[in-house]
Structure 1
């Protein structure tokens, strides 16, 4: 009887992990990512120092920043990083919570797999639990908030900043946040729409965090182009140009032959007159401030200065768009078409020196739909961390106004959800019931982690929280500063509803996706791949199959 030949369908340098090994490998990678950020959760969370290959240092406890800076290579771990990125894009806060829940869901799933529960059943149970969580959060846990509820919105901003570098000045910054977001809110038929890009953040090292200020208008990190121009202009009429104030180049290649010096002089005079006419046009329209996205010729600068017009060149396109929103002007691409209606208006345009740099303040705008905040701080690392915290606060206040719903913080929603899910699990039946109960256990990682990071006993804390929630106190959360269980509404710890719904949703989706993988096939070879330690893909010594010096790609 002849021996059967084995059939190889994959190239010999392909790695394949199957079944339980593949699942364990993926789950462990995802758990490792979750553990990396777990110690940063909550007001008492620790910071991470990240040093990149160039030696640049980032000090932060912002989950998504940490995960972006870490060079993560494992495919399953990358899926967990995506959870943080989605959370950041959708809400702006709660990234660490989302990743920690995803990691804990997978840990619970691993226990169920060890008890021979099939991953498909676990995934199905997790989906049921996630849907039930959305229902409980919207119907039982959330409270309405309106755009005029100044105090509660300030609490939302303060909660987002607590535990981050901005904590010392959170009173000042939360006030700035709410003012800034309310300024840029656009009212629509359904409610409010908020594009947080219209809140421009400028950073300047120097001064204290409390010196940060909001400008009802724009701060442009530029200075006037000519020393002869005024430093400040009252009752500013602003021309916004996306075209250069320079002599126009011809579209086609043209050659001009000059035979005597007079012709050359005429040619130069004509160029000068063209620039003079452009400046005259700006003056005739009534503009006394010019923001130009492109260059301004030296001669044009001279004429503008003579007319007492303050001008700025090479302004960023994004700044031009924000200036248009703030001043009510229009960006014009042809100076000849410039009209009085195109001008923006501001009470004052003034050049100020901040930490040794000149900046232009466009202030006293009537109804600015775009505003600027200048963030100050003692060192660059402080300013960067305050900016991250402020950004998170602006985003969550915007989300709270858009959705009109908030929940208590301090892990109160998670404990309430865990309690209600256990009741719901009994009605599910079958093996999915185990998965729903595991989901409830996983949510309790949030209060446990908050307690651990604050140096409290996680088991005692969880028992206290559960007993309070069993008496229908759905806002009972952990005060990490005293270690007591208190009412989070009274303590002013408030988060937008979307922080929780998004975190639970994306964590559940990532966990079920990772669970359903039972085969990992990774192709190592091919051109352009990173070489292993032996100088060839996969680290075969000295090239593939032992061939000398990196002959890997030639087999």
Structure 2
């Protein structure tokens, strides 16, 4: 019987590349560690900024972890997971993005050592999962007793913004505005973050940042002779254009005399004037129109003393309606007082460097939305300030719901101590993974110490000793030095939700990377 000759079977295309086993794991771990190193120096109140320049020359200066990773041109698929971790952290709780990214890198680094010791990746994954559960227990044990009052919320907001560029305004002053904004929209069911808008405008000092009981948007009056301010104003929000109505069918009209032409023009003018007359008869003081307004209509509105804005975005129009209580009208037919909203003041002010003016619609005590109008002298300053304030809003809302825990590395020390104590009762090799997880968490306070200029080893020893003896132990940055003390007494606190999310998302990302033993890439 003739023997068979087995020909090789090619499943992948010739341009595909395949990396297997330990080589694949090493590549993914190296990518994760590299991303973590890119943001490590931004961690903490003494963290440094990064300047990111894209191919078009656009410059972003920030120390926000999510922004840095988003702006970086990352191609490696495993490293992309780090970006997703930061994005998830930012969307969920608004802060802790750098913490999560650094923790992923450390978990991968410790796992690499375990793999070198011939632990199977599945054992490491199981150990990390158990460690994450134990870490959640430790975080819950660190929640500060008592009500989360205004002072604690302001401390949370200030801790979130400390170390970020805030121009000539202090993080404490901004924290007060942020807490006022959250309190303004809070109900028994909680605070609605969607009811708080952060608007950033350059052209003024950062100290000009203010809380507006209402909505702020960019626009200009449709006619120069309209007054820039309206007090105790009735507001109409219109979803249709104010122009000569067009038929649905193309048609031509034959005009045989001057009188017929005059009559046609007068009818057109009467229609346009009728819009203004209808609004004026309803005592409308301010018109916010989603569509275009004909120049002739704008002139009639100006004659009637009505402030009007055209081509307003859907979101801005919705905010105006929510603030003032106005109905969003599809037509002016049957317009009545019940369709109108009310604003204490509507003002139009120059924005400084921006082309459009700043329109402020202040609804007063009945307003269901507020705006934090962030100002800054330059685009770079105002962009970073906007990110800081937006994050602060999110963490204050998170703190109201989850409570607060000590910051400055104290909670991380508590987590690592709890993990080491619990690891002794875990059977099998998973114990080694739990201890490695504790070492990874220790890297966070060690990094904080490095970024404040303190000796990381000595500081970590002091933190552990103080935690075992007095309880809370965090790194308190004072000027150019750092001491170990009680972060709660120093007003350094974080939402418990931020710590929970950082541990959970970092663990998920690290274990996902460790499970990969085959990378197939196609050109």
TM-score if structure 1 supplies the norm length? Answer: 0.90
- Give the 5 Å matches for 1:60-459: 60-138=62-140, 140-143=141-144, 149-166=149-166, 168-188=169-189, 192-195=190-193, 197-355=194-352, 358-363=357-362, 365-401=364-400, 403-459=401-457
**1:314-355 deviations in Å (ceiling 9; x for gaps):** 111111111112112222122214331221111111222342
**1:485-524 deviations in Å (ceiling 9; x for gaps):** 1101110011111110001000000000000000011111
Query: Does the 8 Å contact 1:345/1:365 carry over to 2?
Result: no
Task: Work out the CA distance in 1 between the residues paired with 2:483 and 2:450.
Answer: 14
Query: Does the 8 Å contact 2:324/2:363 carry over to 1?
Result: no
Q: Once the 2 structures are TM-superposed, how far is the Cα of residue 303 of structure 1 from its aligned partner?
A: 1.4
Task: Work out the CA distance in 1 between the residues paired with 2:309 and 2:145.
Answer: 45
Q: Once the 2 structures are TM-superposed, how far is the Cα of residue 146 of structure 1 from its aligned partner?
A: 5.2
2:466 corresponds to: 468
Q: Is 512-521 or 481-490 further displaced after alignment?
A: 481-490
1:517 corresponds to: 516
Q: Once the 2 structures are TM-superposed, how far is the Cα of residue 218 of structure 1 from its aligned partner?
A: 2.0
Q: Once the 2 structures are TM-superposed, how far is the Cα of residue 145 of structure 1 from its aligned partner?
A: 6.7
Question: What 5-or-longer segments of structure 2 have no aligned partner?
Answer: none
TM-score if structure 2 supplies the norm length? Answer: 0.95
Q: How many residues align?
A: 516
Query: Does the 8 Å contact 1:145/1:152 carry over to 2?
Result: no
User: Helix, strand or coil: the match of 2:188?
Assistant: strand
2:504 corresponds to: 505
Q: Once the 2 structures are TM-superposed, how far is the Cα of residue 204 of structure 1 from its aligned partner?
A: 2.6
Task: Work out the CA distance in 2 between the residues paired with 1:461 and 1:200.
Answer: 40
Query: Does the 8 Å contact 2:155/2:491 carry over to 1?
Result: yes
**1:65-97 deviations in Å (ceiling 9; x for gaps):** 111111000000001111000001111111000
Q: Structure 1: which 4+ aligned runs deviate by more than 6 Å?
A: none
1:492 corresponds to: 491
Q: Once the 2 structures are TM-superposed, how far is the Cα of residue 7 of structure 1 from its aligned partner?
A: 2.7
User: Helix, strand or coil: the match of 2:474?
Assistant: strand
Query: Does the 8 Å contact 2:227/2:305 carry over to 1?
Result: yes
Backbone CA RMSD of aligned residues: 1.7
With over 3 angstroms needed to count, the CA separation of the structure-2 counterparts of 1:395 and 1:337, relative to structure 1, is farther
Query: Does the 8 Å contact 1:141/1:413 carry over to 2?
Result: yes
User: Helix, strand or coil: the match of 1:258?
Assistant: coil
Q: Once the 2 structures are TM-superposed, how far is the Cα of residue 404 of structure 1 from its aligned partner?
A: 4.1
